[in-house]
């Protein structure tokens, strides 16, 4: 082999080759050494704990065992100093004086560690103790083998080529050795000499923490004796009051001397208390006359659920044993005390009338939870002859109330801080309620959600009645009075639902109607929401929050800030996602922030600034019987100071030691119990990065964004379980919904790592700072699953931005050359991650980057690994050179670190990239480097789980699930040639004999559905509804459904929804991996929005079979030039257009047709980079931006037509023939992006002739593009002329809206058409529909500080709502209210500022209406004089602001801030977004910042006035089924 060049060191595996041989005769497992260069024989066992390797390795119970750690990332926090001793001379951080394991087996070893207490690395510690370690092992596959075969003998050999061992010497069984003798003390030792009473402890391998517990915590004198000390003879003449039997290794039957002494103690009268732990439990049982047996593979880990048979309570316990007591063999007078809730094995015994008892687990933990430490209190209490309290069941299980009808309050439209996660939690809640036979009433005006669907099936139950109404207290009460529910759930709809629940409870209205709040009670919720009460509650249990004071005015705020000391954090109380918060460095900044915060809340909070501390979060579940568990803990990549919703989050935590992890867990349980929470909540901490000092930031007493993340990260369905608990069920009786056999009262063990990365859309808004702070700005998030940190980080970057091939520095295009790199690192922004990577690529080093960012060095060292590998490839610049030596090893190293084929192709200069990536793919497969499929099973493979929840990784060599077919259905290789005569020929390549029934074959093979990816502006929950509808239809029709998505907020990523769920990236590489692996029949790309749609071409080129409209036709619709040419060929009208070949040509065209013109790139979603240019300068700027966005795709310039009406056409076609369609009209004129428009269905004001033209054009387009599946066309109507704006050959955001309005699921129909099934159109008669539905956009301008809250051709809304009514104006007003819009109170001031006379004339009748209704009209100079002069209206003039500070008396800003204005109607000219700060901008921004209703579109303003004039804010609550029955009657 050629000598390895140093240039490629980063790509080479470190350490010597090592083999793990197993006694089952299987091939040796190959890995690399990271410990001592020696061999070790022993019994191979596994431990499912996620922290605590220093404690585990020094636990004497592991004597002679080769330990497999199931958690894949080991060594992260190094090893503490063995020289640090406690008061008794015992090592502070370890469980004995030496490492007891024979060898260590891990998946991924961290060569760099980071922790304030670390003294050396794990590798150095192993070497110092002559213990071998092997990494690079598929530990999950090995665990599954041990689980099925049982504990195996093994031999860990480093450098096997030099080994001289014969086969007969290969294995040695440690259980044949007297292990307890090996680890027991050889002499009598006394601890706590001055203490009383006196206890003898038999040391059979006792952990040091047991000694500390007795002597430190319980102040007893502890005499430790060897395992074979003769108690009857008592040669040391020890005076003793109680007997303790310790843990230890091996077969209890090998300790006859210990058993003999215990038998002597059992006979003493009066009896002296005896307590045993672990091996001590088995020894006590044998001494009493019972039997023990060897378990198949033992219980080792930190999350074993054990039921106390006295009370039925379940505790999470740490364990480490290979033998168990046979409960059936217990003699008379002995009973089972604890039982394992999973495998039902014995976990403890007790004498019925004497103080003798023992447990199989470790109450003192270390590592692990301390939930059962009360057993030491019980034993020491017996010894002290203290009366023991009576332990009884609480009886709650016999007092369960039954509920017949429950009202579930949803979250409304999606906004920043409250997004799709509440659709997921609400859907889970409905499922749990329906399982209990409860009638479910839902109020949620978000029509795009899955939970508001009314289609029911056994697998997917729906709410019985859905009210699309504003979530306001009086509306909820109207529904309660009408429906008369027994209970209400307000914890599944975010802050919106919670605030309504709190208000109705405090007003006494819920109590008056006899409606019970299910789950956590309102006083407990208020205790978490009100900082003063929260602080007092914590003080009662000795915990504290960061220094924090509340203030109800600015003077109080200033006093509080000066008491704490600047800088401080300002937050509004009762606010979602940190709304109205920020950091202030002095009095002036505080005054400004406080004024804004008081606009959203009447109480603000001034907090200590803890920026730089670690931020951690625990998801906690508690039932009414006080069983309490933590389901997931998470660590923020960014230090405190960045809202957790804007931070990268890693689960489980990576840099916490066992002590820190369980210290925070213990506090979480204590706090949640004290607050009385029932169901689910989360607790957030700040942890000092240089000590164990911490404080509590907050508790959310409801399902939150992180609850959805935790559910998907662990496979534990928090919302479902919380709902069951709110009905009075207990955790023990609820089943784990992944394994189906184990209990839900457990804490998941993860054998993978999860990373959540936020998705921002800040670039859509001018003047919005991209600085991240305490107020959340992200609109969505992605979740990556893998077995190394590098892998999940790279995956997440590709998920959050499909234009990225992985994490990049300068190559990402997201760092600035203008701003110094140091400044880009210091200030957290939405692109800081890429600046960090750039600094590491440029050699800045981990220490320097840490000093500037305070990001933990462990995370940075992982990013440094990626940078080093990237630099090695870039330096080589050549694929052959990079893989000339050790090709398979190097390729695997890169893939384990998350590098994509495109990344490797890019660094190897293989262009164009798509072909380059195919070349890398071919090389990789030829080297045998392919990903394997792993399951998420909640228990790290300890128990069998037939779960369909899957991910792919290169850190492993065994698949958890098998594939039914060898190859997928492939289209012929030339399927994507850009010719007009393009046709697809399909050939099945995987069949030995042809099947006659192609559809049946497709059903068996399955269909891959690509989901929506990250929520962003333009692609939100509506596409999740589409994907879920498609999957449900596939299942209904008997197809195997395979979904790929990576958005944790979605219902489609609930493993109940599909046959196989791949929580994976939707890159071409990974979709092909899954498609090939599953042997699928085809891919649906048209239900997940733009991301999957853009994959149609590349997938087809790679041979994948696209179901529905062909990829070639999708390109013809997406490519602006091809589409416009086609319309010309068809004779379908469109605005004048031209394809840009140079800026000058574009200017020439624009001058010819006349400005304004619209610049529009191809293949983009939500009008990204779409702009209206009103002059040449704007046009040139916009062309630059569009060229950046569209990459190599064409940019078209179109004549922009003012004053036209926009019309939305949603349809489903089969083979070019339209099956069903819906025509919706926009209230606003064309120029407002369709996603931001108010849409009315059925259309109210379209001429018959217009509708005829629309249908004719749509039919021509459907035929020309041979559409099969969903499609959407946007038309523009000018008088009776109809022009086509664009066509999307996929589902659009209006599909759930039209489907629910017309009671006809368009996606179900489209799915059947795409799968080649016989389809019958729905019978839709618009004439019979006696109601109207109006869809209104939901904006998040309050969060986007500085954004101009006005509408244009690029989409700005983050969500939508829709309401039904008998009248369009009434439905419009309800929809507006459902967005959170505040109506002005009678007689309140209303400010009018309307830019042009035509708009003023259009609004005149509305202005009169407002005046007649008694509103006090104010107007800016032009508007006021116009209405006085032309209409004689009484209107007070206010001055326009010249700048932000222009808010003196008589000014518009003063009227907004101080003058009690309750509605602002501000209509600006045109639709262009200007960069200069205008008076209009200042007025609009002030309205948003001070929480005042704002209308910026003249059509909406007129409709609002009409609706208010008719008194339509008062309406009767009607469910959707009542509207449908009108339609059916």
Catalytic residues: 278, 362, 364
Across the beta sheet with 1171-1173, what order do the strands follow?
A: 1137-1139, 1195-1199, 1157-1161, 1171-1173
Residues whose CB is less than 8 angstroms from the CB of residue 458 and which lie 6 or more positions away in sequence, other chains included: none
Q: State the alpha helices, DSSP H only, in 1080-1212.
A: 1090-1101, 1111-1118, 1120-1130, 1143-1153, 1176-1190
| Torsions phi, psi for 787 (to 5 deg) | -115, 5
State the Rg of the chain over Cα. 34
Q: Can you list the pairs that 389-392 forms with residues at least 24 positions away whose Cβ atoms lie under 8 Å? A: 391/308, 391/310, 391/311, 392/310, 392/311
- Here the tokens at position 539 are 């003080």
CA distance readout (Å), 727 to 400, 402, 498, 624: 8, 8, 18, 9
Distance, CA of 312 to CA of 1087 (rounded, Å): 48
Largest CA distance in the chain: 115
Report the relative pairing of strands 65-69 and 103-105 from DSSP bridges.
Answer: parallel
Q: Are 1196 and 1120 in contact (CB under 8 A)?
A: yes
Q: Are 1159 and 1171 in contact (CB under 8 A)?
A: yes
DSSP 1462-1521: -EEEEE-SSS---SS--HHHHHHHHHHHTT-EEE--HHHHHHHHHHHHTTTTS-----HH
Q: What is the DSSP letter of 4?
A: P
Q: Are 1246 and 1225 in contact (CB under 8 A)?
A: yes
Distance, CA of 760 to CA of 777 (rounded, Å): 7
CA atoms within 13 A on the CB side of 228: 11
Distance, CA of 1495 to CA of 1507 (rounded, Å): 14
Distance, CA of 120 to CA of 1201 (rounded, Å): 70
Q: Are 1254 and 1221 in contact (CB under 8 A)?
A: no
DSSP 178-226: -HHHHHS-SS-EEE-TT-SSEEEEEESS--HHHHHIIIIIS--EEEEEE
Residues whose CB is less than 8 angstroms from the CB of residue 923 and which lie 6 or more positions away in sequence, other chains included: 879, 883, 887, 891
- Here the tokens at position 66 are 């080769």
Q: Are 335 and 358 in contact (CB under 8 A)?
A: no
- Displacement of CA 1253 from its chain's centroid (Å): 46
Distance, CA of 482 to CA of 464 (rounded, Å): 14
* CB atoms closer than 10 angstroms to residue 1122: 17
Residues whose CB is less than 8 angstroms from the CB of residue 1231 and which lie 6 or more positions away in sequence, other chains included: 1172, 1200, 1202, 1352, 1353, 1470, 1471
Distance, CA of 510 to CA of 488 (rounded, Å): 9
- Here the tokens at position 295 are 């378990």
Q: Is the dihedral of CA 225, 229, 230, 234 positive or negative?
A: negative
Q: What is the DSSP letter of 1308?
A: H
- Here the tokens at position 1039 are 């197809």
Q: How many residues does the chain have?
A: 1529
Distance, CA of 1219 to CA of 1214 (rounded, Å): 7
């Amino acid at each position: 082999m050629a000598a390895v060049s140093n240039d490629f060191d980063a790509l080479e595996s470190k350490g010597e080759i090592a083999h793990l041989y197993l006694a089952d005769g299987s091939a040796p497992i190959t890995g690399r050494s990271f410990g001592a260069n020696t061999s070790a024989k022993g019994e191979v066992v596994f431990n499912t704990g996620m922290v605590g390797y220093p404690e585990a390795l020094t636990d004497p119970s592991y004597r002679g065992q080769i330990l497999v750690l199931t958690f894949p990332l080991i060594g992260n926090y190094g090893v503490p100093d063995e020289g640090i001793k406690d008061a008794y001379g015992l090592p502070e951080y370890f469980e004995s004086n030496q490492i007891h394991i024979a060898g260590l087996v891990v998946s991924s070893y961290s060569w760099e560690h980071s922790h304030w207490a670390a003294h050396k690395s794990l590798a150095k510690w192993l070497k110092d103790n002559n213990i071998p370690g092997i990494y690079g092992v598929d530990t999950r596959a090995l665990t599954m083998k041990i689980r099925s075969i049982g504990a195996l003998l093994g031999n860990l050999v480093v450098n096997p080529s030099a080994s001289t061992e014969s086969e007969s010497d290969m294995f040695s069984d440690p259980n044949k050795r007297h292990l307890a003798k090996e680890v027991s003390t050889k002499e009598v030792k006394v601890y706590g000499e001055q203490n009383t009473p006196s206890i003898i402890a038999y040391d059979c391998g006792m952990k040091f923490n047991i000694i500390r517990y007795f002597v430190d915590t319980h102040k007893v004198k502890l005499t430790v004796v060897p395992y074979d000390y003769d108690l009857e003879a008592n040669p040391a003449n020890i005076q003793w009051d109680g007997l303790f039997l310790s843990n230890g290794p091996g077969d209890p039957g090998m300790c006859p001397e210990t058993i003999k002494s215990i038998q002597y103690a059992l006979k003493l009268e009066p009896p002296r208390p005896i307590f045993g732990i672990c091996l001590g439990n088995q020894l006590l049982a044998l001494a009493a006359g019972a039997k023990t047996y060897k378990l198949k593979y033992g219980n080792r880990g930190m999350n074993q659920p054990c039921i106390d048979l006295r009370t039925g309570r379940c505790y999470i316990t740490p364990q480490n044993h290979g033998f168990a007591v046979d409960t059936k063999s217990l003699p008379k007078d002995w009973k089972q005390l604890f039982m394992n809730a999973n495998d039902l094995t014995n976990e403890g015994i007790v004498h019925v009338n004497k103080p003798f008892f023992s447990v199989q687990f470790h109450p003192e933990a270390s590592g692990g939870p301390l939930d059962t430490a009360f057993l030491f209190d019980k034993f020491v209490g017996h010894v002290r002859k203290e009366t023991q309290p009576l332990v009884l069941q609480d009886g709650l299980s016999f007092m369960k109330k039954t509920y017949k009808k429950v009202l579930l309050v949803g979250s409304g439209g999606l906004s920043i801080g409250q997004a799709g996660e509440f659709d997921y939690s609400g859907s889970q809640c409905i499922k749990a309620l329906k399982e209990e036979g409860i009638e479910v009433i839902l109020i949620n005006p978000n029509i795009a959600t899955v939970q508001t669907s009314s289609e029911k099936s056994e697998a997917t139950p729906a709410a019985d009645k859905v009210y699309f109404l504003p979530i306001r207290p009086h509306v909820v009460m109207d529904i309660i009075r009408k429906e008369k529910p027994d209970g209400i759930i307000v914890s599944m709809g975010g802050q919106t639902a919670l605030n309504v629940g709190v208000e109705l409870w405090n007003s006494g209205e819920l109590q008056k109607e006899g409606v019970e709040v299910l789950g956590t009670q309102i006083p407990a919720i208020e205790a978490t929401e009100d900082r003063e009460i929260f602080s007092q509650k914590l003080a009662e249990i000795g915990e504290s929050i960061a220094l924090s004071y509340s203030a109800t005015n600015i003077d109080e705020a200033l006093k509080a800030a000066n008491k704490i000391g600047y800088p401080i954090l300002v937050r509004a109380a009762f606010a979602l996602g940190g709304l109205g918060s920020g950091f202030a460095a002095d009095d002036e900044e505080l005054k400004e922030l406080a004024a804004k915060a008081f606009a959203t809340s009447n109480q603000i909070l001034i907090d200590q600034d803890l920026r730089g501390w670690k931020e951690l979060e625990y998801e906690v579940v508690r039932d009414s019987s006080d069983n309490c568990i933590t389901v997931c803990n998470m660590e923020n990549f960014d230090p405190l100071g960045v809202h957790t919703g804007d931070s990268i989050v890693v689960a489980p935590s990576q840099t916490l030691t066992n002590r820190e992890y369980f210290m925070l867990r213990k506090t979480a349980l204590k706090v949640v119990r004290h607050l009385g929470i029932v169901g689910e909540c989360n607790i957030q901490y700040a942890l000092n990065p240089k000590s164990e000092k911490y404080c509590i930031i907050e508790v959310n007493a409801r399902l939150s964004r992180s609850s959805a993340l935790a559910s998907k990260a662990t496979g534990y369905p928090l919302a479902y379980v919380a709902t069951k608990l709110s009905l009075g069920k207990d955790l023990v009786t609820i089943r784990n919904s992944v394994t189906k056999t184990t209990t839900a009262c457990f804490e998941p063990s993860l054998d993978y790592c999860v990373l959540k990365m936020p998705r921002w859309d800040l670039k859509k808004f001018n003047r919005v700072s991209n600085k991240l702070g305490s107020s959340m700005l992200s609109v969505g998030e992605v979740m990556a699953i893998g077995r190394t940190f590098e892998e999940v980080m790279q995956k997440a970057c590709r998920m959050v931005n499909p234009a990225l091939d992985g994490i990049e520095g300068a190559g990402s295009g997201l760092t600035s050359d203008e701003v110094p790199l140091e400044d880009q690192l210091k200030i957290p922004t939405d692109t800081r991650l890429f600046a960090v990577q750039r600094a590491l690529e440029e050699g800045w080093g981990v220490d320097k980057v840490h000093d500037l960012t305070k990001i933990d060095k462990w995370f940075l060292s992982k990013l440094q690994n990626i940078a080093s590998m990237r630099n090695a490839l870039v330096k080589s610049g050549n694929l052959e050179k990079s893989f000339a030596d050790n090709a398979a090893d190097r390729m695997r190293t890169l893939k384990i670190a998350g590098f994509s084929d495109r990344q490797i192709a890019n660094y190897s200069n293989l262009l164009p990239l798509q072909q380059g990536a195919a070349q890398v793919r071919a090389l990789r497969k030829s080297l045998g480097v392919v990903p394997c499929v792993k399951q998420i099973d909640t228990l790290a493979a300890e128990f069998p789980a037939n779960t369909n929840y899957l991910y792919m990784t290169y850190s492993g060599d065994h698949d958890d699930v098998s594939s039914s077919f060898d190859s997928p259905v492939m289209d012929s290789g030339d399927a994507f040639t850009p010719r007009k005569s393009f046709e697809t020929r399909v050939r099945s390549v995987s069949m030995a004999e042809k099947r006659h029934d192609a559809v049946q074959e497709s059903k068996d093979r399955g269909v891959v559905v690509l989901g929506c990816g990250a929520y962003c502006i333009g692609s939100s929950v509506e596409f999740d509804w589409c994907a879920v509808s498609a999957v449900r239809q596939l299942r209904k029709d008997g197809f195997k459904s395979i979904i790929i998505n990576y958005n944790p907020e979605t219902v489609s990523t609930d493993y109940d929804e599909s046959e196989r769920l791949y929580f994976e990236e939707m890159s071409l590489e990974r979709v092909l991996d899954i498609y090939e692996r599953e042997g699928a029949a085809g891919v649906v790309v048209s239900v997940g929005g733009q991301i999957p749609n853009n994959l149609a071409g590349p997938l087809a080129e790679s041979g994948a079979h696209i179901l529905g409209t062909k990829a070639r036709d999708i390109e013809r619709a997406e490519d602006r030039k091809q589409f416009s040419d086609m319309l010309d060929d068809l004779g379908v009208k469109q605005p004048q257009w031209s394809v840009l070949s140079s800026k000058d040509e574009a200017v020439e065209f624009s001058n010819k047709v006349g400005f304004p013109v619209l610049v529009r790139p191809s293949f983009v979603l939500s009008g990204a980079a779409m702009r209206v240019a009103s002059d040449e300068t704007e046009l040139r700027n916009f062309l630059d931006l569009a060229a950046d966005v569209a990459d190599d795709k064409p940019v078209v310039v179109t004549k922009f037509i003012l004053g036209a009406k926009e019309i939305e056409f949603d349809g489903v076609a089969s083979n070019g023939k339209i099956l069903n369609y819906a025509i919706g009209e926009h209230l606003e004129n064309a120029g407002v992006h369709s996603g931001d428009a108010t849409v009315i269905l059925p259309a109210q004001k379209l001429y018959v002739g217009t509708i005829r033209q629309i249908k004719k054009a749509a039919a021509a387009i459907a035929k020309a593009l041979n559409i099969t599946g969903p499609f959407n066309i946007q038309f523009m109507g000018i008088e009776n002329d109809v022009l086509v704006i664009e066509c999307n050959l996929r589902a659009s955001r209006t599909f759930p809206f039209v489907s629910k309005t017309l009671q006809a699921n368009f996606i179900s129909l489209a799915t059947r058409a795409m799968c080649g099934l016989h389809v019958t159109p729905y019978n839709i008669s618009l004439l019979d529909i006696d109601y109207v539905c109006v869809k209104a956009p939901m904006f998040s301008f309050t969060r986007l500080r500085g954004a101009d809250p006005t509408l244009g051709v690029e989409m700005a809304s983050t969500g939508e709502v829709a309401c039904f009514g008998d009248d369009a104006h009434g439905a419009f007003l309800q929809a507006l209210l459902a967005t959170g819009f505040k109506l002005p109170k009678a007689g309140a001031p209303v400010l009018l500022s309307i830019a042009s006379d035509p708009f003023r004339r259009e609004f005149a009748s509305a202005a009169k209406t407002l005046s007649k209704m008694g509103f006090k009209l104010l107007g800016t100079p032009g508007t006021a004089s116009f209405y006085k002069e032309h209409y004689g209206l009484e209107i007070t003039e206010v001055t326009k602001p010249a700048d932000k500070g222009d808010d003196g008396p008589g000014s518009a800003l003063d009227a907004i801030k101080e003058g009690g204005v309750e509605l602002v109607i501000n209509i600006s000219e045109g639709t262009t977004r200007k960069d200069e700060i205008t008076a209009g901008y200042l007025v609009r921004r002030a309205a948003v910042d001070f929480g005042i209703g704002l209308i910026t579109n003249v059509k909406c303003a007129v409709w609002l006035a009409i609706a208010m004039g008719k008194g339509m804010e008062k309406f009767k609550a009607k469910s959707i089924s009542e509207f449908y029955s009108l339609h059916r009657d």
